[in-house]
Amino acid sequence: MASFLFVKTEPKHVIFPMEMRTFVTPLSILIKMNDNITIAIDGVSGSGKSTMARTLAKKYGFLYVDSGAMYRAVTYYAIQHHYLSDGELLKNVLSADLNKIDISFAKDGHTILNGQDVEKEIRSMDVAAGVSLVAAVPEVRMAMVMLQRAISAHNSVVMDGRDIGTVVFPNANVKLFVTSDPKVRAQRRLDELKAKGTEVDFESVLKNIVERDRIDSTREVSPLTKADDAIELDNSYMSIEEQNAILDKIISETLAKKTSK
């Protein structure tokens, strides 16, 4: 005899066959059925990962962790202390200082470096130009990964970065890998900078993006790679609404599959 799952919807009741259960269990219920959920979002610079992660965290009531902001904060520290200038980084000196670098996030999501709100400073072109060098230092990465795991120990989190699904949380419940055409990304970044009153030209933004892609994906330690079990999403020509709908579908289906195992 066929069994049925009774799902209450407004304004009337609908009966779904039992075989469809995994596809109709609402996301809010799937989330409650899992203890601490980790959503790992990796991908290229400027692909909109952070906005995506922030939106998901807000929607599900999870903690949002911007791991890129942490590498940016270390870079800003290196610039402030003259450990980084003209593309030259004093790696050993910076590594020896790691225990003096305290990074946290304020309630509004702003990045705090040694008690100072550095959200604006870490988004500057100077920091963008130096961060790949800093993020390639093994000691820096080790310290950041430890911090990322500690921040997430007792919370459901959405974390975005480059190595979240591969290194930080290899057992994440949901892994996404976001890509986007470099020119589309450069235009988005240019618009953001212009809106903030920063005057830069398209070519230099594009150059910075292409260079960061190259360094991020060819560095020796934790290069940007898609985890085998990550779901790839190319959002070059997707509206925010389309992207949100696809994300909801991916997350529901992935959690439903894991919950039913």
Q: List the one residue from 40, 65, 73, 135 that touches ligand DC (CB under 6 A).
A: 135
Q: List the one residue from 48, 161, 165, 182 that touches ligand DC (CB under 6 A).
A: 161
Burial class (CB in 10 A: 0-12, 13-18, 19+), 35: exposed
Tokens of 47: 């692909």
Is residue 45 a contact point for ligand DC (CB under 6 A)? yes
Is residue 131 a contact point for ligand DC (CB under 6 A)? yes
Residue 108 to residues 62, 104, 123, 134, 241, Cα–Cα distance (Å)? 14, 12, 16, 26, 24
**Judged by CB under 6 A, which stretch of 86-94, 129-137, 202-210, 242-250 contacts ligand DC?**
129-137
3-state secondary structure 194-212: HHCCCCCCHHHHHHHHHHH
Maximum distance among all Cα pairs of the chain, rounded to whole angstroms = 74
Is residue 43 a contact point for ligand DC (CB under 6 A)? no
In angstroms, give the least distance from the CB of 260 to ligand DC: 31
Q: List the one residue from 73, 212, 227, 235 that touches ligand DC (CB under 6 A).
A: 212
Residue 30 to residues 21, 34, 121, 203, 217, Cα–Cα distance (Å)? 12, 7, 39, 45, 34
**Which among 129, 123, 134 has a CA at the least distance from the CA of 71?**
134
Q: List the one residue from 48, 83, 163, 255 that touches ligand DC (CB under 6 A).
A: 163
Paired strand residues for 234:
179
Q: Which is nearer to ligand DC, 161 or 182 (CB)?
A: 161
In angstroms, give the least distance from the CB of 113 to ligand DC: 14
Residue 53 to residues 48, 63, 227, Cα–Cα distance (Å)? 9, 10, 17
Is residue 72 a contact point for ligand DC (CB under 6 A)? yes
**Judged by CB under 6 A, which stretch of 127-135, 174-182, 198-206, 233-241 contacts ligand DC?**
127-135
**Judged by CB under 6 A, which stretch of 53-61, 65-73, 106-114, 242-250 contacts ligand DC?**
65-73
Tokens of 20: 């469809």
The site for ligand DC (CB under 6 A) is made up of 45, 67-68, 71-72, 131-132, 135, 161-164, 212, 216
